[in-house]
Structure 1
Amino acid sequence: MGAGHGHKLHYHGHSVVHRAPAHLKVASLLVFMLVVVATSRTWFPVFGVYLALLVAVIAASKVPPLYIVKRMVVEVPFVVFALLMPFVATGPRVDVLGLSLAEDGLLAAWGLLAKGTLGVVASLTLAATTEPRDLLAGLERLRVPHQLVQILGFMIRYLDVVTEEMRRMRVARESRGFSARSVRHWPVVARSAGALFIRSYERGERVHLAMLSRGYTGSLTPGATTPGATNATPTTAAPSSTTPGNHA
């Protein structure tokens, strides 16, 4: 990946939020989420204040609200779980639109939806206003373990690769007349997912062996862990041209 490549979650802009240091934005997100999680789910007006604060930040960032809303699909599993809680929870019941729902389940569902939605919106806002390379540099500045930053860097670097391979597998299935329209087709989709996992795992092994053959000892030069870096030059001396690793 060249330096010109961005991430699909990032929205290019030059607002004051975009220009803010990445490590400050990461720290602010962490503090915000700790406060949200620690807030009692019965303090309903406070959640309105949190939402207003997020709306103000999004407005200052000039990121279109629809851009954030479209990417909130990641929250769907939590929404489904929250909708089921009033039905499966025990305790006093209350009738809502002819349905018998548990009061504790309703309160728990509200807390999950409110805190989860605030967390998703805040995280998407950070991703939309921060380049991946700046985000990783900010984590390093916050003294996050270097190995963890490397893992995150490679995950971002190869996320698009794996996504594109998944798309090619879907196109190959559809070109052969396959379309997952019922539960009977799930085994085929599951086998495809397994094949994708094995290919990704093998690719990771090959990349790691190639790095070792070039003298990788567990640390990279500054900036090499970021997705924008074009060369992952190890801190040790580079092997000579006769080293077999140069042809990996």
Structure 2
Amino acid sequence: MSAGHATLLHRPGGSPVHLAAPEVKIVAAFLTVLCVVATPRHVFWAFGGYLLLLFGVSAVAGVPARWVAKRLLIEVPFVVLALLLPFTAGGEQVAVLGLPLSVEGLLAGWNILAKGTLGLATSLLLAATTAPNDLLLGMQRLRTPQLIITISSLMLRYVELIVAEAGRMRIARISRGHDPRFLWQAGATARSVGSLFIRSYERGERVHLAMLARGWTGTMPEAQRRRPAPAWSRTRTWLLGLSPVGTSAVLLGVALWTA
């Protein structure tokens, strides 16, 4: 159970964002997303302000916008839902390029698209600038329930094993004539997914038995690796780390005032 796994989203670096305390970044990301969610959907300029804020953080962290944009593709199903809402929602309608669209559907679709994209981009920036083990360390410092930390720690340590196992199974299928480009091969792919689940479950059982044999008590060892900083240093770290949240709060306040 050595460290160093599940770094697919982490981009090592020495920027001020990378060096910030993980608990500060977790709180900052959570509060920023909270501000985005609380912003009225019809205050369009506020979402542009949040986007500029994220661009600024990514520039300071050295995370390319293209890297973030590629990983935002995971929200494609929600984008499709947002695009369908103007055609399916009822209420007042407006003509756009000759097509009758629901005003309520347009606002609802925009709400999903804007807030979902900004929230996902914030999470990606957090993952890109914080190593998985540091995320667990930050969760411990924030007094997260131990069970959640244990589950997250085991997941982070073994997700790459499952991905590697899936890759080996795919190579084995292709070497036996499987061609995933054709629709009639979907059955073999589905059976492979079931087999992967069974293998992963059996691996988990073996790992659990090995942990019990070595004295596992249900509690992960403390991830604390650094000496506690002085109080003035911690205060300065929190003030600097939460400065983007202050900007988000100002945007939210103005948006609520002008709504």
- Name the TM-score class by shorter chain: 0.7 to 0.9
Aligned-partner SS, 2:166: helix
- 2:179 is aligned to 179
Question: Which whole-Å deviations, capped at 9, do the CAs of 1:180-232 have from their partners, x for residues lacking one?
Answer: 335433332222212111211221111111111211111132129xxxxxxxx
Question: Which whole-Å deviations, capped at 9, do the CAs of 1:125-168 have from their partners, x for residues lacking one?
Answer: 00000011111000000010011111111111111111111112
Higher mean alpha-carbon deviation, 85-94 vs 131-140, is at 85-94
Specify the code of the residue in structure 1 equivalent to 2:109.
Answer: A
- 1:20 is aligned to 20
Q: How many positions carry a matched residue from both structures?
A: 224
1:68 is displaced (CA, Å) by 1.4
Q: 1:3 to 1:184 in 2, by over 3 A?
A: closer
CA distance, structure 2, for counterparts of residue 101 and residue 172 of structure 1: 50
Q: 2:40 aligned with 1:40, yes or no?
A: yes
1:2 is displaced (CA, Å) by 4.4
Higher mean alpha-carbon deviation, 136-145 vs 75-84, is at 75-84
Higher mean alpha-carbon deviation, 173-182 vs 137-146, is at 173-182
Higher mean alpha-carbon deviation, 172-181 vs 43-52, is at 172-181
Taking structure 1 as the reference length, the TM-score comes to 0.84
- 1:231 is aligned to none
Aligned-partner SS, 2:181: coil
- 2:107 is aligned to 107
CA distance, structure 1, for counterparts of residue 4 and residue 203 of structure 2: 24
CA distance, structure 2, for counterparts of residue 87 and residue 181 of structure 1: 33
Q: 2:210 aligned with 1:217, yes or no?
A: no
Any unmatched runs of 5+ in structure 1? 225-248
Higher mean alpha-carbon deviation, 139-148 vs 205-214, is at 205-214
- 1:140 is aligned to 140
Specify the code of the residue in structure 2 equivalent to 1:36.
Answer: V
CA distance, structure 1, for counterparts of residue 191 and residue 222 of structure 2: 40
Higher mean alpha-carbon deviation, 47-56 vs 64-73, is at 64-73
- 2:93 is aligned to 93
Pick 1 or 2: higher relative contact order, CA cutoff 8 A, min separation 6.
2
**Percent of aligned pairs sharing the same letter:** 52
CA distance, structure 2, for counterparts of residue 106 and residue 190 of structure 1: 37
Q: 2:63 aligned with 1:63, yes or no?
A: yes
- 1:116 is aligned to 116
Higher mean alpha-carbon deviation, 101-110 vs 121-130, is at 101-110
Q: 1:181 to 1:94 in 2, by over 3 A?
A: farther
Specify the code of the residue in structure 2 equivalent to 1:162.
Answer: I
1:5 is displaced (CA, Å) by 5.4
Higher mean alpha-carbon deviation, 170-179 vs 15-24, is at 170-179
1:93 is displaced (CA, Å) by 2.5
Q: 1:175 to 1:98 in 2, by over 3 A?
A: farther
Aligned-partner SS, 1:101: strand
- 1:84 is aligned to 84
1:97 is displaced (CA, Å) by 2.7
Aligned-residue Cα RMSD (Å) equals 1.8
Any unmatched runs of 5+ in structure 2? 225-259
CA distance, structure 2, for counterparts of residue 153 and residue 45 of structure 1: 39
Aligned-partner SS, 1:195: helix
Specify the code of the residue in structure 2 equivalent to 1:146.
Answer: Q
Specify the code of the residue in structure 2 equivalent to 1:160.
Answer: E
Aligned-partner SS, 2:79: helix
1:73 is displaced (CA, Å) by 2.0
Specify the code of the residue in structure 1 equivalent to 2:141.
Answer: R
Specify the code of the residue in structure 2 equivalent to 1:93.
Answer: Q
Q: 2:127 aligned with 1:127, yes or no?
A: yes
Specify the code of the residue in structure 2 equivalent to 1:19.
Answer: L
Taking structure 2 as the reference length, the TM-score comes to 0.81
CA distance, structure 2, for counterparts of residue 187 and residue 92 of structure 1: 46
